[in-house]
Amino acid sequence: MATDVGPDPHRSLPPGPARAPRRPRRRRLAATLTATVGGVAAAAMVAVFAASPASAASPLRQLAEAQGRYFGTAVTQNMLSNSTVTNLAGAQFDMVTPGNEMKWDTTEPGNGSYNYGPGDQIVSFAQSHSMRVRGHNLVWHSQLPSWVSSLPTNQVQAAMEAHITNEVTHYKGKVYSWDVVNEPFDDSGNLRTDVFYQAMGTGYIADALRTARAADPNAKLYLNDYNIEGSGAKANAMYNLVSSLKSQGVPLDGVGFESHFIVGQVPSTMQANLQRFAALGLDVAVTELDDRMPTPASQANLNQQATDYGNVVKWCLAISRCVGVSQWAVGDPDSWIPSAFPGYGAATMYDSNYQPKTAYNSVVTALSGGSTPPPTTAPPTTAPPTTAPPTTAPPTTAPPTGGAGGCRVGDTISAWNTGLTANLTITNTGSTPINGWSLVFTLPSGQTITSGWNATYTPTSGPVTATNLGYNGSLPAGGSTTIGFQANHTGNTAAPTSFSLNGRACALG
Q: Where are the beta strands (DSSP E) in 258-329?
A: 260-262, 283-294, 322-327
Please pick, among 108, 183, 229, 258, the residue that the annotation labels catalytic.
Answer: 183
Residue 58's H or E segment, with its range, is: none
- Coil, helix or strand for 118? helix
Q: How many Cβ atoms sit within 10 Å of the Cβ of residue 353?
A: 16
Which residues, including other chains, have CB under 8 Å from residue 140's CB and lie 6 or more apart?
2, 103, 104, 181, 182, 183
DSSP 142-181: SS--HHHHTS-HHHHHHHHHHHHHHHHHHTTTT-SEEEEE
Please pick, among 101, 108, 167, 288, the residue that the annotation labels catalytic.
Answer: 288
Taking each helix axis as running N to C, give the angle between helix 39-51 and helix 83-92, from 0 to 180 degrees, rounded to the nearest 10. 40
- Please, are residues 29 and 100 in contact by the beta-carbon 8 Å criterion? yes
Radius of gyration (C-alpha) of the chain in whole angstroms: 24
**Angstrom distance (rounded) from CA 143 to CA 348:** 24
In the 3-class helix/strand/coil scheme, how is 455-472 assigned residue by residue? Answer: CEEECCCCEEEEECCCCC
**Angstrom distance (rounded) from CA 475 to CA 490:** 35
Q: 183 an active-site residue?
A: yes
Residue 77's H or E segment, with its range, is: none
**Residues annotated catalytic, as ranges:** 183, 288
